[in-house]
Each structure stands twice: as C-alpha cells, then as structure tokens.
C-alpha cells in the first residue's frame, strides 16, 4: 500500500445553466473586466488515500464519484494524479 494523492474535478456539464458562474461573471464585469465570455464554476477535491497502485486509487476515486461526489445528470468528473504545485502567489 502506498499513499497516493489524487485530484478530482467536478464541473457542470457543458450547456447546463451555471448560476454561480454567471454571478461571478457579472461580479467581474462590474469590476471592469469586460472581455469575459464565460465563467463556469466547479469543485476540485484533493484526496490523499492508501492504495495498492495508482490504478487502484483511480478506480476507487471513480467509484466515489459515481456513488457520492458527482451528480451523474448534471456534472462531469475527471480524475488525475495530483502534482504538488498548489502554492502559487
């Protein structure tokens, strides 16, 4: 078993209404960022788990998304290995 860090992104499906994205877009426009065409907002989950292999970890995460984390009707998810690059700015 080794400790593996995964990153799961869950974003609203293209074409579906995203009210949070619209709100952020209009907030940005009122701050004079007028060249914005679209904002979509999703979630990112950073998960640290023990697994036999990377593939095993990804399989577990896929099952977590299907069972709990993502809404299969409205959201898409994408699972990646997490590189340690979060500390910007």
| Contact residues: a copy of itself, CB under 8 A | 1, 3, 9, 11, 14, 21, 24, 27-28, 31, 33, 35-51, 60, 62, 64-65, 67-69, 76-79, 85-89
Q: How far is the CB of 54 from a copy of itself (least distance, A)?
A: 14
Q: How far is the CB of 18 from a copy of itself (least distance, A)?
A: 10
Burial class (CB in 10 A: 0-12, 13-18, 19+), 7: middle
Is residue 89 a contact partner of residue 18, using CB atoms and an 8 Å limit?
Answer: no
- To which H or E segment does residue 63 belong? helix 54-64
CA distance 12 to 39: 11
Q: How far is the CB of 29 from a copy of itself (least distance, A)?
A: 11
**Residue closer to a copy of itself, measured from CB, 19 or 67:** 67
* 22 SS3 class: helix
**Residue closer to a copy of itself, measured from CB, 37 or 55:** 37
């Amino acid at each position: 078993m080794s400790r593996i860090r995964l990153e799961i992104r869950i974003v609203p499906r293209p074409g579906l209404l995203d009210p949070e994205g619209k709100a952020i877009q209009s907030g940005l426009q009122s701050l004079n960022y007028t060249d914005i065409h679209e904002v979509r907002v999703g979630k990112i989950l950073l998960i640290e788990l023990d697994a036999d292999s990377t593939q095993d970890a990804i399989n577990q995460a896929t099952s977590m998304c299907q069972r709990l984390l993502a809404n299969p009707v409205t959201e898409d998810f994408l699972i990646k290995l997490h590189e340690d690059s979060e500390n910007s700015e």
